[in-house]
């Protein structure tokens, strides 16, 4: 397989704090790659650098062949991004949200309506296309955001905590659609999550971050086997490599943000 996303010694500092420290990873095309770690480990900072929302302090990274520092506009054209915060307009319908996005990404006028309706149907939202998004359930909102972020059919999709605040049924629906995206379009998916079962079920490989560094990387099955304990889970792997910061990671602002998102989607 061809490497579609690669970082080399990617680093981000905020004053004296090193949020991401010499990150070096490679993700193959079509892979579903999970970035795990406690709050404050640097996961969202990584996503923000790779999506060109935050410049790195040092190091380099390429996404779909484009350098995030020298070619940010090109990077933004070949990625989709679903942030933690709700990113659709509740005062518009699902159809209107996607139509605006289609215009922003210069999808040809004669293709827009069909592309929007195909995306809505793909995410099982066709029956709600004329419903205001503020009346959607949390699971529907997340599916609409995924439809929006993939409307231009990007080769790489970034998802930052895509199922935070969702109930188990809604989470399962999002998982199924992500797997279908990979199967139908060969989309490379790079996600962060705090749900170990989500990472175990979805990801071909995961990297566990601890204090800005990658502490372990590999397929979930291999990481579990490496513990040498029968019945080991990905939770056990997580605690092994990041357990020391489970109680200290994350600020009051981060905690408040996550709870606010959960309320909005719940």
Q: Token pair of 32, please?
A: 């579903």
DSSP string, 211-264: TTEEEEEE-HHHHHHTTT-TT--HHHHHHHHHGGGTTT-S-HHHHHHHHHHHHH
Q: Residue 72 burial by CB count (10 A; 0-12/13-18/19+): exposed, middle or buried?
A: middle
218 lies in some domain: yes
Q: What is the pLDDT along the chain (266 residues), one digit of tens a residue?
A: 699 999 999 999 999 999 999 999 999 999 999 999 998 899 999 999 999 999 999 999 999 999 999 999 999 999 999 998 888 999 999 999 999 999 998 899 999 999 999 999 988 999 999 999 999 998 899 999 999 999 998 999 999 988 888 888 888 888 888 888 888 889 999 999 999 999 999 999 999 999 999 999 999 999 999 999 999 999 999 999 987 544 444 444 554 555 455 455 44
In total, how many domains does the chain have? Answer: 1
The CA distance from 247 to 263, in Å, is 23
- Nearby residues of 48 by Cβ (< 8 Å), 6 or more positions away: 54
What's the start-to-end Cα distance of the chain, in Å? 39
CA quadruple 242, 247, 251, 252: dihedral sign: positive
55 lies in some domain: yes
Residue in 76, 77, 97 with CA at minimum distance from that of residue 86: 97
Rounded to whole angstroms, what are the CA distances from 15 to 19, 57, 108, 195, 210? 10, 11, 44, 31, 19
Residue with tokens 């942030």: 83
The CA distance from 252 to 266, in Å, is 21
Residue in 88, 68, 77, 78 with CA at minimum distance from that of residue 23: 68
Residue range of the domain that includes 207 = 3-65+192-265
Which CATH number goes with the domain that contains 242?
Answer: 3.40.50.300
28 lies in some domain: yes
95 lies in some domain: no
Tell me the pLDDT tens digit for each residue of 124-169: 999 999 999 999 998 899 999 999 999 998 999 999 988 888 888 8
205 lies in some domain: yes
135 lies in some domain: no
- Number of residues in the chain: 266
125 lies in some domain: no
The CA distance from 257 to 52, in Å, is 22
Residue with tokens 């704090």: 17
197 lies in some domain: yes
The backbone region for 86, taken as left when phi is positive above 0, alpha when psi lies in -120 to 50, beta otherwise, is: beta
Tell me the β-bridge partners of 35.
192, 207
pTM of the model: 0.87
């Amino acid at each position: 397989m061809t490497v579609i996303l690669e970082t080399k010694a990617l680093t981000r500092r905020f004053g004296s704090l090193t949020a991401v420290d010499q990150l070096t990873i490679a993700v193959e095309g079509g892979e579903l790659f999970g970035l795990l770690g406690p709050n404050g480990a640097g996961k969202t900072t990584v996503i923000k650098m790779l999506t060109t929302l935050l410049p790195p302090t040092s190091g380099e990274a390429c996404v779909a062949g484009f350098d995030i520092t020298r070619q940010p506009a090109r990077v933004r054209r070949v990625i989709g991004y679903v942030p933690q915060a709700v990113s659709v307009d509740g005062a518009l319908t699902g159809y209107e949200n996607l139509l605006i996005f289609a215009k922003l990404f210069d999808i040809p006028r004669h293709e827009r309506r069909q592309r929007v309706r195909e995306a809505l149907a793909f995410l099982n939202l066709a029956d709600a296309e004329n419903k205001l998004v503020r009346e959607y359930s949390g699971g529907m909102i997340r599916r609409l955001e995924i439809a929006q972020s993939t409307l231009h059919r990007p080769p790489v999709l970034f998802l930052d905590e895509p199922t935070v605040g969702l109930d188990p049924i809604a989470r399962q629906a999002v998982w199924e659609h992500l797997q279908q995206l990979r199967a139908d379009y060969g989309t490379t998916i790079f996600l962060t999550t705090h749900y170990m079962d989500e990472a175990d079920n979805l990801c071909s490989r995961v990297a566990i971050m601890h204090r800005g560094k990658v502490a372990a990387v590999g397929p979930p099955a291999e990481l579990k086997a490496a513990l040498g304990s029968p019945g080991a889970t990905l939770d056990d792997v997580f605690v092994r490599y990041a357990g020391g910061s489970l109680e200290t990671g994350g600020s009051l602002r981060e905690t408040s943000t996550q709870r606010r998102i959960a309320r909005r989607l719940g």
